[in-house]
Structure 1
Amino acid sequence: MSNGIQRNGSRSPNKADESLLPPKVTSNHSYIGQSETRVYKRRWYILIMYCIIGIMQNAMWNTFGPIETTARAVYKWDGWVIDLIAAWGSVTFCITMLPFAWVVDVKGLRVGLLLSAGFTLVGSVLRFIPTGSTTSSTALIHCGQIIIGLASGIAAAPLLSSTWFPPSQRTTATAISSVASYVGTSLSFLVGPSFVDDVKDSNAVKVGDNYRLNETEEAKYQKQINSLLYTQSGLQAVFFFFVFVYYPSKPPSPPSHSAATVRVDFKDGARRLITNFNFLLLATIYGATTGVYGGWCAVLYQNLSGYGIDVNEHFAEWLGFVAVMSGAVSGVSFSVFADRFTGHLKLLLIVFMAFSLFAILLIYYVFTRVIGFNKGLVYVLFSLSGFFLNGTIPLFYELGVELTYPVAEGITSGSVMFFNNFLQSIFLVVPLGHLGTKWMLWATIGTCAASTLLLVFVKETYNRYSVDKRAKIENDFSSSSLNM
């Protein structure tokens, strides 16, 4: 009898690897004695609240970037302060990823989301505590941003979809919940400027690389920034209340047979992940492409200047915005398609990565004037690059879970996100100033090309999907036997 292992040592994508079933049980996934599966309408509430918390956390993480000039004038910051505030998100995620993965896998989604929403609420309040001193206010803002960054450690999109959604909707649910954070970052570019006026449009005098404000002007802009911070904190308090009142970790009955299957003990799961070459290859590919691409978009204004493109920083921000938003749209739409073609995630990833590489190459040709520079064309190309590359994010998550099942989804998805944040941090922090800024686009092209090729060597295994498929066949057979 076959155990799902082929002679060449690779695992069959059509057989569940029953030898991987664990001797220990994580409490979050245990449905002892239950064989009935059921789908609940409340799953959409669970998904929406998870998305809202993610949107709020990322919008607050990127509070000061879109209002950089005014914030620097009010708090008398140097340019590096904004960069440091943004960097806290990646740094704190690397610290809290493992603890949050343990929480959601062992204690459940409710505890994990309450912690995330609570951290975000506490951090948002710290930022607007009046001190009467720009130095003290700056310290509190840093503390607040660090605590908000700690909330980013939750990476439970595949866990949520597996726990609450049937197999036919799993990839779509993962896509919706995973792109929510990117939507929050994008919305911050619209929300911030709607509250805070740009000091560049005032009569303030620029001294060095900052603006000098009189008392009246400083009070005006401080009031605007406080209004933004109050609004964010107030909304977060409302959403925290909703999660506190009702947010169950799992439904009474599982939505699928794979959701009811016991998961590997957390420590054993972590050990299996770091020894699973197939998973590590996939996670590295994901981190290299999305991490470097995201880092490039974050410093796009510098890269444009390096190519001698004379545009303002708002043009660069809008390029990043359209790339992220188009990726959010494609992430959901592609996943609806992928839900109907489960078993072909690798092929979809290769195709989408190839298209994104082509779009980024065209961007390079425009930047180097091989193709005539045109703002409209640049917008289109950035939209296409984000559409295809950011659209792969939920597919990476789902394939990662399939490769590692029955390792719990929380630690699997957290590990995938860790590679993204770690490699993005390296891209942004490693000092390569002597090379100028052109290397940023070269690195983006290189990682995208290499990752597309490396995807060929990822061996597909669909352990979770095969469990549900086998259960469906058995149920259909039982039903037909009863009807005979």
Structure 2
Amino acid sequence: MSGSSGDCNVQPTQEIKVYKKRWLILTLFVVYSASNAMQWIEYSIITNIVVKYYNVLDYVVDMTSMIYMITYIPLIFPASYLLDNFGLRWTVIIGALGTAIGSWLKVFSVAPDRFWITFCGQTVVAISQTCILSIPARLAAVWFGDNEVSRACGIGVFGNQLGIAIGFLFPPMLVPNKDTYEIERGLQRMFYIVAAITSVVLILILIFFKSAPPLPPSSAQVVQREKSESNKDVKNFFNSLARLCSNRGYLLLLISYGINVGIFYAISTLLNRLVTKEYPDSEEDAGRIGLTIVCAGMVGSIVCGILLDKTHKFWLTTVGVYVCSLVGMIIFTFTLDVKIYVVYITAGILGFFMTGYLPVGFELAAELTFPEPEGTSTGLLNAVVQLFGIAFTPLYRYLLSIWEDFWANVALCCILAVGVLLTTLIPNDLRRQKAKA
């Protein structure tokens, strides 16, 4: 079949079946995604401790988080090609293998003069992330029925958020801000635990994870399968990219989505500095506030996924959640210096909508770009997110250094307001819904 809009109206004749194994596949992916994502913020959330032990600049510690964003951009296109042409299984195996290798490298980095080894391990784990972020929308579409896709995508994104939550919570608990010996023991304990977890996850994936069920689970997936079977080459991959780049609604979503998630990345990376500046000696509070943001976001992801499955109001939900993200950021800005317990509450409100927005954006992208492969559309979406994250993190750091925290956060609110405006301009063109009609 061609990639024209006429594809959306093809009536499938192939048998459709939803398999029980879909929940095992989704659960494995959630654990796999979490095992990688928990390493993203594990250094930044204890920045002051890492600086003290390895005797490096805090900017270098920030780079352990930003390397996730930097490596994603050039590697997303090979990763998307891998996903579109070799399927979910091989993509996930490669990602899980890289995550385990990077985790074991860090085990050998416990010495004050071995920061370069820990950074190499972090880079390998970061590269492996390219085999994760584009998966939820594809996995949901390939394994789940028409009325479960958005929910499954939300649960898939939940895995990434679960990992970030673990990364916020446990490093401050495992690595105490004490003398060098105690810090060294804490780092060693943390690295061994993570390496063991990622190794077990790799083994489970090798045994149980499959690319796709024998029969498609939905009418939209019938169309997708027929199209993908006739378009498995590099030329058609780049033709798909060209069509995405000429889709006005998708381009608007790229920018608005990048703004929202890029700001979340900046806040997460610099949360230790933000909290400890207002509340000295509060490393563990910084981790728990980060945990609150992400846990609230996990709830938001699932709630939004259920809402989308029941209403199919993709555009309206996207706009509504984005507006609420802006409101949450405004509340967070005005309450940061009140009381620490108030920060927990306002951070939870911010997290519910800002990180709850992640699967909503994925699903709207799938609607706007159908029948293009979800791996390509979400991969490009995530590449733009990394660009915005790379831009906003140093910008936020600079604003925090020259302004009060309040005005730095006001600047982020203004940027989010631009994202709201761009989101309202996205056309309500739900192509995947038309294929189901």
Q: TM-score, normalised by structure 1?
A: 0.80
Deviates more, 1:165-174 or 1:79-88: 79-88
1:463 aligns with 2:431: yes
Q: Summarize the alignment of residues 217-256 of structure 1 with structure 2, pairs less than 5 Å apart.
A: 218=181, 220-256=182-218
Partner residue of 1:146 out of 123, 134, 154: 123
* CA distance in 1: counterparts of 2:184 and 2:251, whole angstroms: 47
Q: Deviations over 1:136-192 (max 9, x none)?
A: x22211111000000111221100000000010000110111121121111123222
CA RMSD of aligned residues (A): 2.5
Whether contact under 8 Å (1:296, 1:440) holds in the other structure is no
Q: Deviations over 1:55-94 (max 9, x none)?
A: 0001123332344444444333332331121221111111
In the alignment, what sits opposite 1:409? 374
Deviates more, 1:110-119 or 1:448-457: 448-457
* CA distance in 2: counterparts of 1:19 and 1:166, whole angstroms: 19
Partner residue of 2:254 out of 269, 283, 295: 283
Whether contact under 8 Å (1:72, 1:78) holds in the other structure is yes
1:361 aligns with 2:338: no
CA change 1:164–1:310 in 2 (3 A) is: same
In the alignment, what sits opposite 2:296? 326
Deviation at 1:194, TM superposition (A): 3.7
Deviation at 1:304, TM superposition (A): 5.8
Partner residue of 2:344 out of 379, 389, 392: 379
In the alignment, what sits opposite 1:50? 29
In the alignment, what sits opposite 1:185? 164
Q: TM-score, normalised by structure 2?
A: 0.88
* CA distance in 1: counterparts of 2:404 and 2:49, whole angstroms: 28
CA change 1:83–1:385 in 2 (3 A) is: same
1:391 aligns with 2:356: yes
Deviation at 1:243, TM superposition (A): 1.1
The 3-state SS of whatever aligns with 2:72 is: helix
Deviation at 1:294, TM superposition (A): 3.0
1:426 counterpart letter in structure 2: A
* CA distance in 1: counterparts of 2:428 and 2:274, whole angstroms: 37
Deviation at 1:322, TM superposition (A): 1.1
* CA distance in 2: counterparts of 1:363 and 1:196, whole angstroms: 28
Partner residue of 2:71 out of 82, 92, 102: 92
Deviation at 1:117, TM superposition (A): 0.4
Q: How many pairs align? A: 419
CA change 1:122–1:353 in 2 (3 A) is: same
Deviation at 1:375, TM superposition (A): 3.1
% same residue: 21
Deviates more, 1:157-166 or 1:356-365: 356-365
In the alignment, what sits opposite 2:6? 18
* CA distance in 2: counterparts of 1:317 and 1:180, whole angstroms: 18
1:341 counterpart letter in structure 2: T
CA change 1:267–1:183 in 2 (3 A) is: same
The 3-state SS of whatever aligns with 1:168 is: coil
The 3-state SS of whatever aligns with 1:108 is: helix
CA change 1:438–1:112 in 2 (3 A) is: same
1:236 counterpart letter in structure 2: T
In the alignment, what sits opposite 2:151? 172
Deviation at 1:313, TM superposition (A): 4.2
Whether contact under 8 Å (1:266, 1:408) holds in the other structure is no
Whether contact under 8 Å (2:137, 2:363) holds in the other structure is yes
Q: Summarize the alignment of residues 10-89 of structure 1 with structure 2, pairs less than 5 Å apart.
A: 17-18=5-6, 35-89=14-68
Deviation at 1:309, TM superposition (A): 6.6
1:353 counterpart letter in structure 2: Y
Deviation at 1:228, TM superposition (A): 1.7
Deviation at 1:34, TM superposition (A): 7.0
Q: Deviations over 1:123-148 (max 9, x none)?
A: 111112278x643x222111110000
1:450 aligns with 2:427: no
In the alignment, what sits opposite 1:4? none
CA change 1:139–1:34 in 2 (3 A) is: farther
Deviation at 1:455, TM superposition (A): 1.9
The 3-state SS of whatever aligns with 2:104 is: helix
* CA distance in 2: counterparts of 1:374 and 1:138, whole angstroms: 36
CA change 1:392–1:78 in 2 (3 A) is: closer
Deviation at 1:387, TM superposition (A): 1.1
Whether contact under 8 Å (1:291, 1:423) holds in the other structure is yes
Whether contact under 8 Å (1:309, 1:367) holds in the other structure is no
* CA distance in 1: counterparts of 2:20 and 2:270, whole angstroms: 42
2:346 counterpart letter in structure 1: L
Deviation at 1:364, TM superposition (A): 2.9
Structure 2: tracts of 5 or more residues without a match: none
* CA distance in 1: counterparts of 2:325 and 2:139, whole angstroms: 28
1:257 aligns with 2:227: no
Structure 1: tracts of 5 or more residues without a match: 1-15, 23-32, 205-212, 470-484
CA change 1:428–1:184 in 2 (3 A) is: same
